[in-house]
Amino acid sequence: MSVLNSWKVSLLIYKDIRVVRLLILGFSSGLPILLIFSTLSLWLKSAGIDRSTITLFSWAGLAYSFKFLWAPVIDKIPIPILSDKLGHRKSWLMLSQLLLITLLIILGFIDPKHNLILMAIIIVCIGFCSATQDAMVDTYRIESAPQELQSAMSGTYIVGYRLGMIVAGAGSLFLASFFGAEEQFYNVSAWQKTYIIMAILQTIGVLCTLVSPEPSSQRILLNNSKDRLKLVNVFLISILTFILIYTLFPMMQFEDPLTKGVFTTLKLLLALSGMIIIFMFSVRINYVHNYVILSTFWDPIKSFIQKYGSIAVAILVIIGLYRVADIVMGVVANLFYSDMGYTLNQIATVSKFWGLIATILGGLIGGVLASRYNNYSILLLGAILAAATNILFAFLTILEPKVIYLMIIIVADNLSAGIASVAFVAFLSSLTHVNFTTSQYALFTSLMLFLPKIIGGYSGAMVDGLGYFNFFFLTAAMGFPVILLIVALKNKMYRS
């Protein structure tokens, strides 16, 4: 077979219905996120809500960071009637999608000028349902196809997710403007109609879920109705405890990013401790059986440790550091472009348009590469590219500000980021156990973002101390430990 024909065969992977399905589910996952962030902020601003109140709505985003808290419950508890009709995974996915549609429609009948508290409650619920949908789409992707399709499915999922964000971002603003949101006086109906249309678009995911088969994997569920009810009760109390501790913990402002990061970590640990105390107390008073708590929350962790043994910690280090070079650099990217003399229009055109196209293309290329070679090789390639492209930004600091230079470097960076993302998602997918897919994957993705975001808080201070040229070389160097670790564990990881 010629090289050209060989590549054509590899491209055929995108004709597989299981791969195409993830394009639609990715769109459904990407649609809600901007509707509770940037788009919502503009609605609230046009309604005359003050800036400090608007920023409080960002708390809805906590659901995306802490979905690992309720993921174990989703793994263990079937939904009455719905799970019998659709299957365990499809029932949770369908429930989250139906709730999203309902909540978006309700939002389409609310005026924040008169019902701001009700809107805040609805927005928090949308954040929770959206994060749950994300977790269930990830679970469905992992369990519905073999490992050799995971990279391609990850690629189409990323494409669909980006398209969903475009529709919810630029698309919703276009609709709001079309309906009269930019008129001299506040036009609430323009925003309400926009959100109802977004709810209608969300039904695309429901239709895809309905016609998709339930993954055939067998899993261990908690079938005793009394045990399920008691677990849910205790879990809800523990979640409420977590939220109260995390949000009511004394607010303190720190200039030093390290101190701020330590303080945030302390808040998180205290909130988690509150949850653990609730679980322990419920077992102590014999309200919930000890095995129910352990099988739900401890067994996913124990399963991972037992499967990977001596390299479990090394794998967790790779997960925690794999995205560090990209994320830390990305924190100051727009500031860097501006400081280099590029206009806002140039930044928006190159970064949002050409950068988006490059990310999508990178995701698709990553899927094809992974179908031709093993995922370990693409994982290593992604880590190398993520570090190497940061060095390109260092050279941008010594070049005159021409749009062509900016375009070349941003396209190269986003192309490599797309390849790395697909490889990394496929890698995380391969680590999960069928009985704990939702729990383990949600935990991995939370770990993936935690350390890079903490280090990212230093980005501004590092630029001030080192300058952009040295900063970009430093961020590239941050990717080297991951590269070395992947190479060192090549044989063990490949066998696992």
Contact 151, 367 (CB under 8 A): yes
Note the pTM of the prediction, 2 decimals: 0.86
Fold of 8-218: Growth Hormone; Chain: A; (1.20.1250)
From the list 33, 30, 46, 349, the residue with the least C-alpha distance to 176 is 46
Residue 11 dihedral angles phi and psi, to the nearest 5°:
-70, -25
Q: What's the rounded Cα separation, in Å, for the pair 68 and 70?
A: 6
pLDDT at 494: 57
Grouping H, G, I as helix, E, B as strand and the rest as coil, residue 433 is coil
Domain ranges of the chain: 8-218, 222-288, 303-495
Contact 48, 116 (CB under 8 A): no
pLDDT at 269: 86
DSSP letter for 213, please: P
Please, what sign has the CA dihedral across residues 232, 131, 61, 459? positive
Contact 387, 325 (CB under 8 A): yes
pLDDT per residue of the chain (496 residues) written in tens, 0 to 9: 555 555 565 567 778 888 899 999 999 999 998 888 888 888 888 888 887 677 667 667 777 878 888 899 898 899 888 888 999 999 999 999 999 999 999 999 999 988 888 998 899 899 999 999 999 999 999 998 887 788 888 889 988 998 998 898 888 988 998 898 877 788 899 999 999 999 999 999 999 999 999 988 777 888 888 888 899 899 899 988 988 888 787 777 666 666 766 777 788 889 889 989 999 999 999 898 888 888 888 889 999 998 888 888 889 999 988 888 888 887 777 778 878 888 777 777 787 778 888 888 888 888 777 777 777 778 888 888 888 888 888 888 888 888 888 888 888 888 888 888 888 888 888 888 888 899 999 999 888 877 787 777 677 777 888 888 888 888 888 888 888 888 887 766 656 5
How would you class 179 by CB atoms within 10 Å of its CB: exposed for 0-12, middle for 13-18, buried for 19 or more?
A: middle
Contact 164, 26 (CB under 8 A): yes
How would you class 235 by CB atoms within 10 Å of its CB: exposed for 0-12, middle for 13-18, buried for 19 or more?
A: buried
Per CATH, the architecture of 303-495 is what? Up-down Bundle (1.20)
pLDDT at 131: 92
Do domains 8-218 and 303-495 share one topology? The answer is yes
pLDDT at 267: 83
From the list 477, 495, 312, the residue with the least C-alpha distance to 394 is 477
CB atoms closer than 10 angstroms to residue 309: 10
DSSP letter for 489, please: T
Q: What's the rounded Cα separation, in Å, for the pair 458 and 477?
A: 15
Half-sphere exposure of 435 (CA within 13 A, CB side): 14
Alpha helices in 12-166 (DSSP H): 17-35, 38-46, 51-56, 62-65, 71-76, 82-86, 88-107, 116-143, 147-166
Token pair, residue 39, equals 């788009």
